[in-house]
Chains A and B, each alone.
Chain A
Amino acid sequence: MQSRRKFIAQSALAAGALLTSNSLFAEMQKDKALKKLTILHTNDVHSRLEPFPMDGSRNQGLGGVAARAALINTIRAEQEQVLLLDAGDIFQGTPFFNLYKGEPEIKAMAAMGYDAATMGNHDFDAGLENFATQLKHASFPILMCNYDFTNTPMELKYQPYKIFRKGKLKIGITAVGIEMTGLVPDSLFGNTQYLDPIQKANETAAQLKKEEACDMVICLSHLGYKYSGNKVSDIVLAKETENIDLIIGGHTHTFMDAPEMYTNKTGSDVLVNQVGWAGIQMGRLDFDFAGFQPKKLSKSHTVIVGEKTNE
């Protein structure tokens, strides 16, 4: 009897040791890492390849692709699952663009390993043909679901969405662009057809979540964060859609203090973020995911937002 009890105690101890043993702990950590996603994002960089010049101006010394690239490399070395995204207006704003029409901008983004980007109104500035031509330097797709580029130089140079497999996660990314009329000269957008961004984003997001079974849907947006009138914005997009989890915005050059949470049509959370302009800042969002059985999945869900302080 004594020995039997001893045996059980020893077994329990051994099992406990096994649980806390390095290999199992590492397994658990690995599993956790496979359910984590780090999103890095920029918008409205506007050809700001070098930092603002040191001439006493307010933004002097800020920004620059060399500093951004170094940080991206550091984060990629620390995090397994990273997505690097841009919400448009890559072009226009410094003499680099006047002289080289976007070639160094796209080359720099390719070197930094951008995973996807969308088009802003200023990416039309040297003509659609120029934008399409510069994309030969790109290693990332241009996403857009509400511009119909049929019969334009962009016809074969963009896609409505892309699905990324990140660890155990399946991430769907789509993008919406702003209405060109009254903003982009007619001669520049040519045959490009603007379609309702809410409707197209809804259709695409539903396809990504339902048919493609994506765990998360991100929408890059160059609509702008917020307007006083009833013009469609990221806030409207967040509230009027279903199946979008995160909106990475641009156009209004808004420096947000923190990402903002909105409730979509089905009562689920949608996070909206934007990081000013000129590559002065880069946003980082670290998501933790949990696994569910499909039938136990609640129709609406809440994401807890916190500031990252461990750096």
Chain B
Amino acid sequence: MCFMRRNSKFFLVLFLVALFTISCKTVYQPQSVKYKDYRFTNNSKQDSGLIKILQPYADSVNKSMNTIIAVAETELEKKQPEGTLGNVLADAMLAKAKQVYKIPVDAGFINYGGIRLTSIPAGNITRGKVFELSPFDNIIVLQKLSGKIFQEFLNHISARGGWPAAGVTWQIKNKMAVNVLINNLPINENGVYTVALLDYVANGGDDCVMLKTIPQINNGYLFRDGVIAYFTEINQQGKKIASKIENRVSNAE
């Protein structure tokens, strides 16, 4: 009897301890959230500690990057299917590809995502600006494409909204390239075209799988160096960087 009582008391304690333990295990759930976006401007308070950390890096970056290499006549804009910024960069691509490889090149392209600024304002263009525009160490390469593969590539970049191009014009219809003209002649499926591309694209970047297995001519010339040289040369001729929409790439009605 005595044993029984002690035993039941023991279980009661155990039960209460268990109950207490369970009830203590509170879990939490988010009930409400308030959001806010902060925008940092010139007037925002600056932390001196971060400025100090940055200083040595910033000094040398600014020293090498603040050189003015050219002047933009108007604001240059990154736009699809065609923009003034893309046109001038595609022109630089084609001009430099011809100059560096010393062979005829039919067309030059830049992937839209490869342009890393949305615009360049009218006025001075610094060396650093071109680094921001094209921060990647992309190389200008040549590929010889059959008319069929070329058309496939144009369809692919049309489905992506249109990329900057030089030496070729087309219209985008149902995400396909139509009315394609290369050096003012219609594309020929059996023809062979020499095309200047960034190695990133030629290697299959931005899902350009159709280019991946095609041999590349590559002498390691950086696209960014090409743009800096192209801008510098225009400046040395006493001209400004000018660009306009020429219906190189347009959406079909």
Contact = CB atoms under 8 A, between A and B. Distances in A.
A258 interface: yes
B237 interface: no
A111 interface: yes
Given A258-B35, A303-B32, 4 more contacts: A93-B116, A284-B38, A288-B31, A306-B35
A288 B83 CA distance: 47
A305 interface: yes
Interface in B21-57: 22-23, 25-42, 44-51, 53-54, 57
A275 interface: yes
Contacts of B131: 94-95, 98
Contacts of B26: 168, 291-293
Nearest to A167: B28
Contact of B50 (A65, A74, A303, A308): A65
12 contacts: A58-B119, A66-B50, A66-B51, A70-B45, A71-B45, A73-B47, A98-B131, A183-B205, A286-B33, A292-B29, A293-B22, A308-B35
Contact of B34 (A68, A93, A307): A307
B217 to A, nearest CB: 18
**Interface of A: prevailing SS:** mixed
B207 A67 contact: no
Nearest to A170: B28
Given A111-B49, A186-B203, A213-B27, A273 B35 contact: yes
A69 interface: yes
Nearest to B138: A185
Contacts of B35: 258-259, 273, 283-286, 305-308
Contacts of B215: none
A185 B119 CA distance: 26
Given A182-B206, A287-B33, A289-B29, A93 B135 contact: yes
A185 B38 contact: no
B207 A182 contact: yes
Given A57-B121, A289-B28, A292-B27, A95 B132 contact: yes
Interface stretch (B58-66, B94-102, B228-236, B240-248): B58-66
Contact of A64 (B22, B33, B40, B116): B40
A215 B29 contact: yes
A292 B25 CA distance: 9
A57 B31 CA distance: 42
A100 B57 contact: yes
A27 to B, nearest CB: 17
B122 interface: yes
A308 to B, nearest CB: 4
A222 B34 CA distance: 23
A94 B64 CA distance: 13
Contacts of A63: 40
Contacts of B65: 95
B34 A216 contact: no
A291 B135 CA distance: 49
B25 A294 contact: yes
A108 interface: yes
Given A50-B54, A71-B44, A182-B207, A215 B28 contact: yes
Contacts of A213: 27
B130 to A, nearest CB: 9
A290 B117 CA distance: 45
Contacts of A125: 136
B70 to A, nearest CB: 13
A305 B32 CA distance: 6
B186 interface: no
Contacts of B58: 49-50, 96
Interface in A206-257: 213, 215-216, 245
B120 interface: yes
A281 B124 CA distance: 27
A280 B50 CA distance: 16
B27 A94 contact: no
Given A56-B123, A169-B28, A292-B28, A280 B116 contact: no
A205 interface: no
B219 interface: no
B226 interface: no
Contacts of A68: 40
Interface string B154-178: 0000000000000000000000000
Nearest to B116: A93
A259 B48 CA distance: 32
Interface in A48-82: 49-51, 53-58, 61-71, 73-74
A301 B29 contact: yes
A55 B132 CA distance: 13
Contacts of B50: 65-66, 69-70, 108, 111-112
A304 B30 CA distance: 9
A7 to B, nearest CB: 34
Contacts of A259: 33, 35
A169 B131 CA distance: 44
